[in-house]
Chain A
Amino acid sequence: MSKIIGSVATSHIPGIGGAIAKNLQHDPYWKPFFDGFIPTREWLANNPPDVVVVVYNDHGLNFFLDKMPTFAIGAAQVYISEDEGWGIPTVPPLEGDPALSWAIIEGVVQDEFDVTTCQEMLVDHAVTIPLQLLWPEGPPPVKIVPVAVNTVQHPLPSPARCLKFGQSIGRAIEAYAPALKVLVISSGGLSHQLEGERAGFINPQFDALCLNALINQPEKLTGYTTHAIVELAGSQGAEILNWITGRGIVQGVAREVLRNYHIPISNTASALQVLEQVGVPRS
């Protein structure tokens, strides 16, 4: 059976891609952010995954407002990184694992999560940047299954729904017969807001609450409405929904391997949190 190793939750700020392209990892502005990935890669070297399930939100590359799924799962052989319009370099095509994708789709639909399935799916910086951070030396040595959560057009799925959706994905992975090792990437956040007179809003207190709760008390976050999430985390802080979904995928008790919270990167409270699945149920 397949096994979930744990999760790497990280911000996916476009500027990170620019910094990678310009080799600014040791620049004083960027170093505190990039340094968090050194111990993360060491942890990963001891737990190398075969497949990465990437929970993210599309930023107007694959999905437009003509068709906006609440939850979408990629089921493609290959995922293409394409021009996003404002200059981030693209990366080579990423290999999919359609067999695992369909096993997850079967599992979640059986659990009454009626997802959109995508046999063609362009992936943006929210997918490519975390992979580049984990495997900076070249193409990632893994297959991927992208899981897109709508954090763009309200109504957004509730935190409670996202956690349950993630749990359903996790059960489907661990019921999948091939003995794969699966890593979760939760992409986005933490608190930030790009638009309106409150642009530049950051809320370290709420971010801290989220980081602490996501280890083993994600239910602390499921009482919030999405409106409350926007109020507390900022408009784009709603990307915490990707982290909540990702925590749901990690089954049972988790151990926090590391966290690296750093303000500011661009307009964002950047954060990295690595959780290892311990393998016992939460009480």
Chain B
Amino acid sequence: MTTAPIPGTPVFTGEFAMKGYALNKMCFSLNNAANRAAFLADEDSYCDKFEMTGEQKAAIRSRSVAALIAAGGNVYYLAKFAGIFHLNVQDLGAQQTGVTVEEFKAKLNGYARFNADVNTGRLSNV
């Protein structure tokens, strides 16, 4: 099915699942505490075990979420990589949207004005 791209929204299709396989596999391995320790001890050697591409290794070194996504990373697996550095999803959101974490949180807070109308069922048109 052909579908128009959604601005600012990567869709993790089969194409990306293939492209990002090694990167995501490395991130998936970080569920394990011993693997996290091995990554932190020598991240280049650790990444070498997963046959990652040069682009993927560079993306890991850069800590850039945008570069990791472009290299095929999926956010559910990347979360395990980000967790090593104690980054939460507001940190990731701020980095990707080019604002400070405080500005990113303020944007989220801006939606709170809708809470009451959703709860009463008044708000429902799209």
Contact = CB atoms under 8 A, between A and B. Distances in A.
Interface of A: 15, 59-61, 64-66, 82-87, 152-155, 193-209, 211-212, 225, 227, 230-232, 234-236, 259-264, 266-267, 269
B54 to A, nearest CB: 21
Interface of B: 1, 3, 6-14, 17, 21, 24-25, 27-28, 30-33, 36, 65, 69, 74-80, 82-84, 86, 88-90, 92-93, 96-97, 104-105, 107-109, 111-112, 114-115, 117-119, 121-126
Contact of B75 (A194, A198, A200, A266): A194
Contacts of B122: 208
A65 B119 contact: no
A196 B8 contact: yes
Contacts of A60: 24, 27-28, 31, 74, 76-77, 79-80
A15 B2 CA distance: 36
Q: Is the interface of B mostly helix, strand, loop or mixed?
A: helix
B92 A85 contact: no
Most buried by A among B17, B36, B108: B108
Contact of A152 (B74, B89, B117): B74
Q: Is the interface of A mostly helix, strand, loop or mixed?
A: loop
A57 to B, nearest CB: 9
25 contacts: A60-B80, A64-B25, A64-B28, A65-B74, A83-B31, A85-B83, A195-B96, A197-B8, A198-B6, A199-B92, A199-B93, A203-B126, A204-B118, A205-B125, A208-B114, A211-B118, A212-B121, A212-B124, A227-B3, A231-B9, A235-B9, A259-B119, A261-B118, A262-B115, A264-B108
A-B complex: 7 closest residue pairs judged by Cβ atoms: A86-B83, A198-B8, A197-B8, A85-B80, A204-B114, A264-B108, A199-B93
B12 to A, nearest CB: 6
Contact of A209 (B17, B33, B97, B125): B125
A235 B111 contact: no
Contact of A264 (B32, B112, B121, B126): B112
B90 to A, nearest CB: 7
A195 B75 contact: yes
Contacts of A66: 25
A206 B96 contact: no
Contact of B11 (A65, A200, A232, A235): A235
Contact of A261 (B25, B27, B105, B115): B115
B80 to A, nearest CB: 3
Contacts of B112: 262-264
B111 A260 contact: no
B18 to A, nearest CB: 9
B88 to A, nearest CB: 7
Given A196-B9, A196-B96, A266-B88, A65 B21 contact: yes
